[in-house]
Amino acid sequence: MAKGVERARSPARLGACRAASALLRSYMSVMSFRPIFLRLSVCLAALFGWIGIASAQTLLRDAEIEQFLEDYTRPLMEVAGINPEGIEILIVGDPNFNAFAGPGVMGMNTGTILMAETPNEIEGVLAHEVGHLAGAHSVRGPEAYAKASRPAMLSLVLGAAAIAAGAPPEAGFGILGLGQNAAMGTALTYSRGQESAADQAALSYLEAIGHSGRGLMTSFERLSNQLLLSGRDVKPYLQTHPIGLKRVAALNDRASQMQHFGDTDSEEEIFRLHMIQAKITGFMSEPFTTLRKYPLSDQTQPARYARAVAYYRDSRLEKALTEIDRLIVDDPDNPFFEELKGQMLFEHGKVREAVEPHRKSVELAPQYALLKINLARALVALEGDEEVTEGITLLQTALVQEPDNSFAWSELARAYAVKRNEPMAALSHAEALFSVGNTPEAHRFASLARDKLTPGTPEHLRALDIIRASEDDARRARARGGNRR
């Protein structure tokens, strides 16, 4: 086991809300979009009961989109005095306009990305949320946040977002684990004063990094106009971020007077947004809808990207491969084209053929844990000794980067099982269960590992850690039950 994996998580960090956090952040998180919907829905049902996928907030993992958001967020956080390493950037699969922030997390709906007309609009919304983070804005008060664990905070913001999006309150209850009054969407509702403060902070951050505040202004102008027309797609955001005419006017007055107001996005930035929007459309819309929006007459790269995803999702593999291969010829250094090709092949049963593009994606962008997990998954599925050994190494490396990625732990357990290394398979499976809050089963598998591992080794000590933390969790659960009686 790679050094760092066994020390990455302290049992003291684990609490009752860990399950929601780990599930929403990493469970079955390897592949882009489509598999996540299916698997995450099962996980949420297992944890909270069937609350309905339409009402649940579906968290997506995609290295390309995460990097896109991080590239805009990082400089804003730095000028705001926030450590970017301490904030997780989340992507919520929801067609409505929404964004949210809380200590340790900040997220954006796919609908917000799709509605953006310029990259600067995305940047403006992110700057506004950074303003909320820097100002520690919350009607629940900083004391409540200070006492909340990071997993609880993630559950809180996603649960509140679900309610703001119009989900039944019970859907939010399932995610939040809070009382009825707290779950009615107030956790992330900002006052008009806080909204104005976040606006002004956002403009200051944008000016400090030499970017325009126009995108923030045009986003909120469009939100205000859409609210007057129907409000359907913008209601979730407006429920937590009240917009008034005075606020919009104040924002416009200051933004238009700033030095960089007239600056525009580069062609490269605009192209990148169009590629991201095409990818989201391909995965989030029905294939026929995507193909209608991006017809064959459109031979731009974004259109071909969207069609590649649509054909793949429609089980037209040959057409999908034709489109993605053309994109790879145009841009051979794009790791995400290779990732998508590997995903297409793997999910259509062409496992051996999937290895090469997945390997190329890792070679092109070794910094992304998700790409390593993709490659490892394909290698382990081949079940050859050399392939599985390489897969284990890749998974260990990825887990140093993302120690709570339960899918990676599950794949590592599978790899050790192929190797007939029962103690390590049991320990890795215990880690996977531990990550999603299933402490009784984690205790059982950690005990199996403990009994077969050499005492005093890091792996043996980690098994003992899981056992102790699981027992502590059980004691806390019994104490809570006793207090309720």
pTM: 0.79
The DSSP letter of residue 395 is: H
Residue 166 predicted with pLDDT over 90: no
> Which DSSP helix (H) or strand (E) runs through 59?
strand 59-60
Residue whose pair of structure tokens reads 């004063």 in the numeric block: 193
Domain that holds residue 145: 31-256
Does position 161 have pLDDT exceeding 60, yes or no? no
End-to-end CA gap in the chain: 44
Whole-number pLDDT of residue 29 = 39
**Does residue 123 lie within any of the structural domains?**
yes
Q: Quick one: average pLDDT of 263-285?
A: 97
Quote the longest CA-to-CA distance of the chain: 69
What confidence tier does 318 reach under pLDDT thresholds 50, 70, 90?
Answer: very high
**pLDDT per residue as tens digits for the range 104-118:** 889 999 999 999 999
Q: Tell me the CATH number at 188.
A: 3.30.2010.10
Report how far residue 303's alpha carbon sits from residue 301's, in angstroms, rounded to the nearest whole number.
Answer: 5
Q: Would 384 be classed as within a structural domain?
A: no
Q: What is the mean pLDDT of residues 24-35?
A: 40
Q: What is the dihedral of CA 179, 184, 186, 188, to 10 degrees?
A: 90
User: Would you state the pLDDT for residue 38?
Assistant: 31
Of 3-7, 9-13, 56-60, 128-132, highest mean pLDDT: 128-132
pLDDT band at 233 (very low <50, low <70, confident <90, very high): low
Tokens of 250: 């104040």
3-state SS class at 197: helix
Residue 221 pLDDT class (50, 70, 90 cuts): confident
Q: Cα separations (Å) of 9 from 6, 411, 434? A: 7, 19, 11
List the beta bridge partners of residue 108: 91, 99
Give the 3-state secondary structure of residue 107. Answer: strand
* Residue scoring higher pLDDT (303 or 200): 303
pLDDT digits (tens, 9 = 90+) for 374-424: 999 999 999 999 999 999 999 999 999 999 899 999 999 999 999 999 999
Decide if 152 is inside a domain. Answer: yes
pLDDT at 243: 62
What is the structure's pLDDT at 155? 52
Q: What is the pLDDT of residue 11?
A: 37
Q: Is the pLDDT of residue 325 over 80?
A: yes
Burial of 399 (0-12, 13-18, 19+ CB in 10 A): buried
Mean pLDDT of 233-249: 60
366 within a domain of the structure (yes/no)? no
Domains contained in the chain, number? 1
In a domain, 118, yes or no: yes
What tokens appear for 203 in the block? 């403009």
Residue 305 resides in a domain: no
DSSP 8-class letter at 190? P
Q: Are 378 and 358 in contact (CB under 8 A)?
A: yes
For the chain, the average pLDDT equals: 80
- Report residue 244: phi and psi, to 5°: -120, 165
**What pLDDT is attached to residue 165?**
45
Contacts of 173 (CB under 8 A, 6+ apart): 159, 180, 183
With beta carbons less than 8 A apart as the criterion, state whether 170 and 52 touch. Answer: no
pLDDT at 191 over 70: no
CA distance 22 to 403: 10
Q: What is the pLDDT at residue 368?
A: 97
Residue of 482 and 247 predicted with greater confidence: 247
Is residue 147 in a domain?
A: yes
Instruction: Say what the pLDDT of residue 32 is.
Output: 47
Does some domain include residue 195?
Answer: yes
Contact 360, 345 (CB under 8 A): no
**pLDDT score, position 27:** 36
Residues 158 and 107: their CA atoms lie apart, in Å, by: 9
Specify the pairing of strand 105-109 against strand 99-102.
antiparallel
